[in-house]
Amino acid sequence: MNDLPVVNIGICGLGTVGQGVWKHVTRSRAKLEARLGAKLRLTRASVRDLTKKRQVRVGASRLTTDPMEVATDPKIQIVCELIGGTTVAKAVTLAALRMGKTVVSANKALVCEHGPEIFAEARKHGGHYFFEAAVAGGIPIIKAIREGLVANRFDRIYGILNGTCNYILTRMERERLTYGEILKEAKARGYAEADESLDVDGWDTAHKASIIAYLAHGTWVPTQAMGVEGITRITQVDMHYAREHDLAIKLLAVIERDFKTDELSVVVAPMLLPRTKVLANVNEVFNGVSVTGDVVGETIYIGRGAGQDATASAVISDIVDGVTLLVRGNAALPEPVEHHCPPRPPEHSTNRYYLRLDVKDEPGVLSKIAAATARFKVSIASVQQTQSTRAAAATLMLTTHLTNEKAIRSAVAQLRRLAGVLGTPQLLRIASFED
């Protein structure tokens, strides 16, 4: 056993996830070492505050306040970047990669915003960059797309990628409280950040969708180029409709590629999903991803998308892959082939839609609405009317047959200008995924 090679691991950022990694590597050390034929040493860690009390015991000599010291320590072969953000984290990552090291990261924003530069640096110096923990926490979805489903082209991938949003939507559905009431409680319980906007406005989901789209298609789609909508505008009226029609409302990232036109579409928005779909039943803080490949058909992956332990599980799996490469030969993982897919224009995106409007309760309004939608060739599948919370008004809930995004947006713009329509119409996609 003493002849085994030693792999030194450094942790930049001993926060929640970093402590989880430290804890579980320590606990599973014997098993991991036996599997790998190598000794694992947690050599150093960087922290912001040396005096802070931590869950794990780390000797003072192994701590530093300078993450760059960890990243560039010549003894350390594997650097875990668990700092977050895109400034210090980026500098630390690039410094380690320039020394030919392997970097393991849980940082979706960094991968999403600076992926090409980081990957190029890893390639150039013969190192590796792993980021399983950046998407869907403990679910090995990156490995599945990159390795397990390598025989496939991916027509459609859709997923619930943000635990905070899914928790809020699940509770709104079950308890009929408002968005604001649940958000407040989620914050108190630590299920939502103090500044929740990155989560509830859809940007965290968009970061993850960008990474998945790159792995599946070799094209980087910046989040600004996606349609990104959050969950803040979902009300109990929508929830009630969904319940009545056996639908769930989920914040979905939908990545679709049309292999005839080569167009790629990445959308993040709350959508109605039939209860018969497995993902409609993925609740609370769980994430779920449906991956449809041309060879394998649909495969689905579900698990905790965040939290200390789930994220640590993914980080450790990357550490193990890194150690395998180090001690057993330097095989590189097959990388996505860079490829430029043009974005899919809205007139090529077709969906069924749910449209909710508050209208004046007077004769002729429905016919005006029908005329406005018909003008844009939007065909109505169903109409339901309930009383509005506004005085002398009714709420109409319409669903459409398959229609394209450009047409429905134009129709909604037109509807907003109609005299009988009050406030802003609610437009949601119905994600039946059956076309």
- Measured CA to CA in angstroms, residue 367 lies from 282, 364, 373, 413 at distances of 39, 5, 10, 17
* Residue 163 sits in the site that holds a copy of itself (CB under 8 A): no
Helix (H, G, I), strand (E, B) or coil at 256: strand
Tell me the closest approach of the beta carbon of residue 298 to a copy of itself, in angstroms. Answer: 7
For a copy of itself, the binding residue among 6, 120, 332, 371 (CB under 8 A) is 332
Tell me the closest approach of the beta carbon of residue 284 to a copy of itself, in angstroms. Answer: 11
Considering the complex, state which of residue 341 and residue 415 has its C-beta at the smaller distance from a copy of itself: 341
* Residue 328 sits in the site that holds a copy of itself (CB under 8 A): yes
* Residue 225 sits in the site that holds a copy of itself (CB under 8 A): no
* Residue 1 sits in the site that holds a copy of itself (CB under 8 A): no
Considering the complex, state which of residue 295 and residue 392 has its C-beta at the smaller distance from a copy of itself: 295
Tell me the closest approach of the beta carbon of residue 323 to a copy of itself, in angstroms. Answer: 8
Tell me the closest approach of the beta carbon of residue 95 to a copy of itself, in angstroms. Answer: 25
Q: Enumerate long-range contacts of 39-43, CB under 8 Å, 24 or more apart.
A: 39/4, 39/5, 39/6, 39/7, 40/7, 40/9, 40/319, 40/323, 41/6, 41/7, 41/8, 41/9, 42/9, 42/11, 43/8, 43/9, 43/10, 43/73, 43/75, 43/76
> Scanning residues 337 to 366, which ones bind a copy of itself (CB under 8 A)?
337
Considering the complex, state which of residue 81 and residue 318 has its C-beta at the smaller distance from a copy of itself: 318
Q: Which window, 102-110, 202-210, 304-312, 424-432, contacts a copy of itself (CB under 8 A)?
A: 304-312
Among all residues, which ones are annotated catalytic? 208
Considering the complex, state which of residue 93 and residue 292 has its C-beta at the smaller distance from a copy of itself: 292
Rg, C-alpha atoms of the chain? 24
Neighbour count for residue 193 (Cβ, 10 Å): 14
Pairing of strands 380-387, 39-46: unpaired
- Measured CA to CA in angstroms, residue 171 lies from 88, 177, 199, 310 at distances of 36, 8, 16, 22
For a copy of itself, the binding residue among 99, 300, 366, 418 (CB under 8 A) is 300
Question: Distance (Å, rounded) from C-alpha 153 to C-alpha 409?
Answer: 30
Identify whether the C-beta of residue 103 lies closer than 8 Å to the C-beta of residue 127. Answer: yes
> Scanning residues 240 to 259, which ones bind a copy of itself (CB under 8 A)?
none
* Residue 278 sits in the site that holds a copy of itself (CB under 8 A): yes
* Residue 160 sits in the site that holds a copy of itself (CB under 8 A): no
* Residue 31 sits in the site that holds a copy of itself (CB under 8 A): yes
Question: Distance (Å, rounded) from C-alpha 187 to C-alpha 195?
Answer: 9
Token duo for residue 113: 């915003």
| Residue labelled with tokens 């449209």 | 355
Give 110's DSSP letter: H
Question: Distance (Å, rounded) from C-alpha 308 to C-alpha 363?
Answer: 57
Identify whether the C-beta of residue 134 lies closer than 8 Å to the C-beta of residue 111. Answer: yes
* Residue 28 sits in the site that holds a copy of itself (CB under 8 A): yes
Helix (H, G, I), strand (E, B) or coil at 326: helix
Tell me the closest approach of the beta carbon of residue 321 to a copy of itself, in angstroms. Answer: 7
* Residue 175 sits in the site that holds a copy of itself (CB under 8 A): no
* Residue 293 sits in the site that holds a copy of itself (CB under 8 A): yes
Paired with 264 in beta bridges are 257, 343
* Residue 310 sits in the site that holds a copy of itself (CB under 8 A): yes
∠ CA(297), CA(226), CA(274), 5° rounding? Answer: 45
Q: Which window, 68-76, 322-330, 351-359, 418-426, contacts a copy of itself (CB under 8 A)?
A: 322-330
Tell me the closest approach of the beta carbon of residue 313 to a copy of itself, in angstroms. Answer: 4
Q: Which window, 173-181, 293-301, 376-384, 414-422, contacts a copy of itself (CB under 8 A)?
A: 293-301
* Interface contacts to a copy of itself, rule CB under 8 A: 24-25, 28, 31-32, 34-36, 132, 137-140, 143-144, 147-153, 278, 281-282, 293, 295-304, 309-310, 312-314, 316-317, 320-321, 324-325, 328-337
